[in-house]
Structure 1
Amino acid sequence: MSMWDELNRPPVTPAVRVLPLVAVAALLVSGCGGGSGSGAAGKGELADGKTFTTAYASDPGALDPAKTVMSIAIGVNRYLYDPLIHLDAKGEPEAGLARKWQATTKTATFTLRPDVKCSDGSTLTASDVAANIDYIGDPKNKSPLAGVQIQPGTTAKADDKKRTVTLTSGAPDAFLLRNAGSVPIACGKGLQDRTALAKGGKGSGTGMFTMTEAVTGDHYTLTRRKDYTWGPGSSGQGAKGLPDTVKIRVIPNESTAANLLLSGELNAAPMSGPEQKRLAAQKLFHADVQAPLGELYFNQSGARPGADEKVRRALVQALNLPDVGKVITNGTGKPSQGMVTDEPRACTGDSVTGNLPRHDLAAAKSALSAAGWEPGAGGIRTKNGKKLTMSLMYGTQNGPTMAAGAELIQKEWKSLGAEVKMKPADSPGLNSTLFGSGNWDVSMGPISLGVPTQLVPFMSGPTPPKGVNFAGIDNPEYQDLVQKASAKVGAAGCPQWQQAEKALIKHLNAVPYYNSLTPVFGKAARFKVNQGAIVPSSIRMYAN
């Protein structure tokens, strides 16, 4: 058991994030925050009363914090809701809504700060916090955070007089403090009306801003709370340069966003494509995000092609994954070493190198033939009269490079004898397909994670709508290693967590192959980035 009291530390970058880049950017996008550059970023006087305008490539969709794992929605919610704890640059917990805490693999207790107010002016209670945990932990609510940050069956007990919340995990969680402590906390009114939370939770926020305008597909306007004093770093009334207003604009085209940034109509915009070079040449400030952009998942449910490991192996072997990685990252990324990429990572190591098949088109063709898929009319392979036809789904929110990468995969699989139908989708579209209709064959939507326990529900257990095992993965070796790792607290189980990842990759249940390094450029503003999103309390506006 370990205990930390409230620490007075300078602003830092990270916290946990589970974003399937589908969040995951999905399924869950995060990263290490950092900044460099000068010039138009603003080196002059800090300025109060300004509006910070930032661009998102896709609409966030529904914003109920307990109902989404979409990275863009999580990014918006960072302004509206705070967690119980934050993490410093070394991964150590520091005060959020809670001022002290203690945890094992089965229980955790948080003592709330006395000064936290909801955005309607009421005091955040321990019962409010417990209700957030109970909602996610109750399987009937089908929260996508169940099994990711809160184990199914988890319950919480509140003592409003002592301002303590004690939760009992529904299953052992090696990173219980980090997972439970990162849940975005809403206040009472929103917990009674979740349709309001889906629209921004007016009156229910615990974060630095409140939602004052929402125009779906166009923009969202947020106003800074003057009573907010409990964020990380200097985020209180006396902080200089904090914006009074934040405007989030939905701009799918990166070239448009880059032009608006240079003209001063935007203060921040992420760039994953070729516009990076143009903005870097202007010596703009930027904070960089590392994310697992290059991942492939095969739908292993039913009679789909990806249900056969031999077919998965042949398909992966037919791809020159480093070339695909260079295309989707515009040459700025690097090969993946694991499935947990959010900094600071709970476990380090390389679970990828040597566990993916090497590029060999001839061997891939032989493997498909051995599996019964023979060349047919038009070069398309068939088995028992059925063509080897697949849909390839990719996220449009990640810019034009994802489409180019998908086209390269389509070309290489065509050489193998597979007919591939392209299926572009924005973040909400990816989410509804993977966790809703299930009508997909191969997904390029990555999952961004801060701790290995967050991967478990996506790689095992119930499939949608009862769970989030969207690819229908059943890997007994992975499940056995997870059980062993889960019995150990924190980093003590890292060797088993690494072996568990390797078990997934060796059987091609998941194919992580390339990470991106995406700069979020700024003009007349500076900020820090973690979990794939700007840290609201870190934003500083400049006079120029």
Structure 2
Amino acid sequence: MSTWDVGTKGATAHARRALPLVAATAVLTAGCGGGSGPGTAAGEGKLADGKTFTMAYASDPGNLDPAKTVMSIAIGINRYLYDPLIHLDGKGEPEAGLAQKWKATTKTATFTLRPGIKCSDGSALTASDVAANIDYIGDPGNKSPLAGVLIQPGTTAKADDARRTVTLTSGAPDAFLLRNAGSVPIACGKGLGDRSALAKGGKGSGTGMFTMTEAVTGDHYTLTRRKDHTWGPGGSKGDTKGLPDKVTIRVIPNETTAANLLLSGELNASAISGAEQKRLAAQKLFHADVQAPLGGLYFNQGGSRPGEDEEVRRALVQALNLPDVGKVITNGTGKPSQGLVTDEPRACTGDSVTGNLPGHDLAAAKSALSKAGWKPGAGGIRTKNGKKLTLSLMYGTQNGPSMAAGAELIQKEWKSLGAEAELKPVDSPALNSTLFGSGNWDVSMGPIALAAPTQLVPFMSGPTPPKGLNFSGVDNPDYTALVQKASAKVGAAGCPQWQDAEKALIKNLDAVPYYNSLTPVFGKGARFKVSQGAIVPSSIRMYAN
């Protein structure tokens, strides 16, 4: 999900305040007000050592076990704690991470680790540690949400500790195997035998530039820099001048509060998706921008839910002026969606949305409901077999007040259709537990952030929770067939089939992507780059006041 901010892909996202579900393998380019990148910045002064970088997230991350989450906020924190085998540069090309060499097909991949990598407890990272990470996700019995997203179910790995090599055999063909498997966050040490420790930040089990030193659920998380870290992206090292000694992540649900703290200097970074953007931009604060698929609808097709009927889904979509809803949820700063994969650089490009979603037509929507057996009842509310057309509409509170306003607009337009919508605001952990746990929902506005079309597959096909990630209960034979064809081709060679697969979902209204936002991550007293929907820890630079 994920955005699942799926990404990490699971999963988003990120200093991505906006994304609950994310697949974290994309590299997002940073757009900077008043400068670009983490180097010397006009008005920031000189690089300073010994500082604390304080940033805000709108929700608690929940479970921090890197193999047990696709929630963007958890993924954003884990970027500090765990490194992947490879990074992606601005063009989407692989560069060294924990691995210094690699090769891959659609079925197998081999990674050679850099020498001298240490876990945060001082022990050496071994090829066996890496293989254990892969095996855990690939084992269906462990029910990792990354299974099918980054690692195919049934995938196994073999390690040669002497040669520092890990060779994995994918449980199913993966067109982007190198990109996906290489993005798995790697834990080591005692955490591999104690997942409960990983759930709390895995002290001593990290491979990243920082280690967790304090965790107060719902309030703050403190991380301390490892000066012995020498294997960051682009050759970055933990003893570089200007890096913060500590990182404090504060849980601040209210965007106005976060904006005020930025301006006062109590925060160094926060993603702002709502109206506070204008106030901060007017102060010419530095910002790195994240494209986020905020405008998306997903219908629960399980059991006797209204969304099970395609005609009902069609009527509900036709009743909405989606461009207007999109402008509301993005405060007029977004643009229409072109596909379900949004994290740049995308593995496949193209437009799978235009011409495949029904346009706004209230009369046609009412007609479609009538054909589906829903007739006007008392007060104009549609009924069928004595049951009112009532829907729960779930949206993320971490997405800011504009998402609530968008939900209210949808509620109003559905009322004109004769459908009642009960608004259900939830934070990221609650969204996760509802979609993948209780299943008690009708329509979700929770976005999914993806970098490669393969990462969408487990969310739109296969087993439903708790056995799988197909949270909507989608059963689309056309999509499944096209995925099989695309999966047999390496990388971009299968992009035409991947695009057709997306179109099959959208035409059937199994997924309704309609608007993307450009969410700025504002900074004060610090600069940074954004990659894979989150701040790159090694890119942070602190400045003297």
TM-score band, normalised by shorter chain: over 0.9
Shift of 1:488: 0.1
Question: Counterpart of 2:218?
Answer: 217
SS at match of 1:258: helix
Show the counterpart of 1:100.
101
Judged with a 3 Å threshold, the aligned counterparts in structure 2 of structure 1 residues 308 and 16 are, in CA distance, closer, same or farther, namely: closer
Letter of the structure 1 residue corresponding to residue 33 of structure 2: G
Q: CA deviation at 1:188?
A: 2.7
CA contact (8 A) 1:297 1:442 kept: yes
Q: Secondary structure at the match of 1:301?
A: coil
The CA distance in 1 between the partners of 2:368 and 2:90, in whole Å, is 46
Residues 19 and 333 of structure 1, relative CA distance in 2, 3 Å threshold? farther
Distance 1:72 1:237 in 2: 23
The counterpart of 2:19, out of the listed 14, 22, 25, is 25
Give me the TM-score of the superposition, normalised by structure 1. 0.96
Residues 359-374 of structure 1 aligned to structure 2 (within 5 Å): 359-374=360-375
- Specify the alignment match of 2:398 in structure 1: 397
Unmatched 5+ stretches in structure 2: 1-5, 36-40
1: CA distance, partners of 2:12 / 2:424 = 16
Q: Residue by residue, what CA displacement relative to the aligned partner does 1:150-207 show, whole Å, maximum 9, x if unpaired?
A: 0000000000000000000000000000000000000031010000000000100000
The CA distance in 2 between the partners of 1:237 and 1:338, in whole Å, is 38
Q: 1:239 to 1:526 in 2, by over 3 A?
A: same
Change (3 A) 1:419 1:31: farther
Shift of the 60–237 alpha-carbon distance from structure 1 to 2, 3 Å rule, reads closer
Unpaired runs of at least 5, structure 1: 1-14
2:28 paired with 1:37: no
> Following the alignment from structure 2 to structure 1, what is the Cα–Cα distance between the partners of residues 13 and 66?
16
Shift of 1:26: 1.6
Q: Give me the whole-angstrom Cα distance separating, in 1, the residues matched to 2:198 and 2:371.
A: 53
| SS of 1:337 mapped into structure 2 | coil
- The CA deviation at 1:22 is 9.2
**3-state SS of the aligned residue for 2:234?**
coil
- Equivalent position of 1:10 in the other structure: none
Q: What is the alpha-carbon distance in structure 2 between the residues aligned to residue 26 and residue 454 of structure 1? A: 15
Q: CA deviation at 1:19?
A: 3.4
Aligned pairs for 1:77-92 (under 5 A) are: 77-92=78-93
Q: Match for residue 206 of structure 1?
A: 207
Please state how far the C-alpha of 1:31 moved relative to its aligned partner. Answer: 6.3
Q: Residue in 2 aligned with 1:130?
A: 131
Report the residue type matching 2:29 in the other structure. Answer: G
Q: 1:286 to 1:114 in 2, by over 3 A?
A: same
CA offset digits 1:17-67 (Å, max 9, x no partner): 323369992221766231322399853211111100000000000100000
Task: Tell whether the 8 Å contact from 2:238 to 2:538 is kept in structure 1 after alignment.
Answer: no
Amino acid at match of 1:26: P
> Aligned letter for 2:8?
R
2:75 aligned residue: 74
Contact map agreement 2:222 2:247 (CA 8 A) in 1: yes
Judge conservation of contact 2:334–2:517 (CA < 8 Å) in 1. Answer: yes
Partner amino acid for 1:36?
A: C
**Cα RMSD over matched residues?**
1.5
Question: Equivalents in 1 of 2:316, 2:474: separation in Å?
Answer: 17
What is residue 309 of structure 1 aligned with on the other side?
310
Give secondary structure in 2 for the equivalent of 1:46: coil
The within-5 A match list for 1:206-355 is 206-233=207-234, 235-355=236-356
**Structure 1 residues 497 and 237: CA distance shift in structure 2, 3 A:** closer
Post-superposition shift, 1:386? 1.3
Deviation at 1:226, TM superposition (A): 1.3
> 3-state SS of the aligned residue for 2:73?
helix
Whole-Å separation in 1 of the counterparts to 2:484 and 2:391: 34
Per-residue Cα deviation, 1:274-332 (whole angstroms, up to 9, x for no partner):
00000000000000000111000000011100000000000000000000000000110
Q: What is the distance in 1 between the residues matched to 2:28 and 2:91?
A: 11
Counterpart of 1:19 in 2: which secondary structure? coil
CA contact (8 A) 1:31 1:288 kept: no
In the alignment, does 2:385 pair up with 1:384? yes
CA distance 1:308–1:218, change in 2 (3 Å): same
In the alignment, is residue 471 of structure 1 matched against residue 472 of structure 2? Answer: yes
1:388 Cα shift?
0.6
CA contact (8 A) 2:255 2:400 kept: yes
User: Can you list the C-alpha shifts for 1:426-465, whole angstroms capped at 9, x where unaligned?
Assistant: 0000000000000000000010001000000000000000
Q: Which amino acid aligns with 2:400?
A: G
Offset at 1:238?
4.6
CA contact (8 A) 1:41 1:523 kept: no
Q: CA separation in 2, counterparts of 1:400 and 1:238?
A: 40
* TM-score calculated relative to the size of structure 2: 0.95
1:511 matched residue in structure 2:
512
AA partner of residue 27 (structure 1): L
**2: CA distance between counterparts of 1:431 and 1:291?**
18
CA distance change for structure 1 residues 244 and 139 in 2, over 3 Å: closer, same or farther?
A: same
Give CA deviations for 1:76-98 in whole Å, capped at 9, x if unaligned: 00000000000011111000000
Offset, 1:99 = 0.3
CA distance in 2 between partners of 1:42 and 1:195 (Å): 44
1:339 is aligned with what amino acid? Answer: L
Matched to 1:281, the amino acid is A
Task: Tell me if the contact between 1:380 and 1:419 (Cα under 8 Å) persists in the aligned partners.
Answer: yes
Query: What residue in structure 2 maps to residue 530 of structure 1?
Result: 531
Structure 2 CA distance for partners of 1:62 and 1:237, relative to 1, 3 Å? closer
Matches of 2:48 and 2:263 in 1, distance apart?
Answer: 19
Distance 1:41 1:269, change over 3 A: farther
Contact 1:41 1:285 in 2 (8 A): no
Whether the 8 Å contact between 1:42 and 1:542 is mirrored in structure 2 is no
Aligned to 1:4: none
| Equivalent residue, structure 2, for 1:51 | 52
Whole-Å separation in 2 of the counterparts to 1:47 and 1:432? 42
Q: Which segment drifts farther, 526-535 or 139-148?
A: 526-535
Match of 1:294, SS state, is strand
Q: How many Å separate the matches in 2 of 1:38 and 1:89?
A: 20
Q: What percentage of aligned pairs have identical amino acids? A: 85
Give runs of aligned pairs for residues 427-446 of structure 1, distance below 5 A: 427-446=428-447
Q: Secondary structure at the match of 1:430?
A: helix
Give the conservation status (yes or no) of the 8 Å contact 1:22–1:395: no
Moved more, 39-48 or 403-412: 39-48
Task: Letter of the 2:513 partner, please give it.
Answer: P
8 Å contact kept, 2:52–2:247: yes
Contact 1:325 1:335 in 2 (8 A): yes
Whether the aligned pair in 2 keeps the contact of 1:42 and 1:526 (CA below 8 Å) is no
Equivalent residue of 1:516, what SS? strand
CA–CA distance in structure 2, aligned partners of residues 84 and 332 of structure 1: 35
Matched, 1:452 2:453: yes
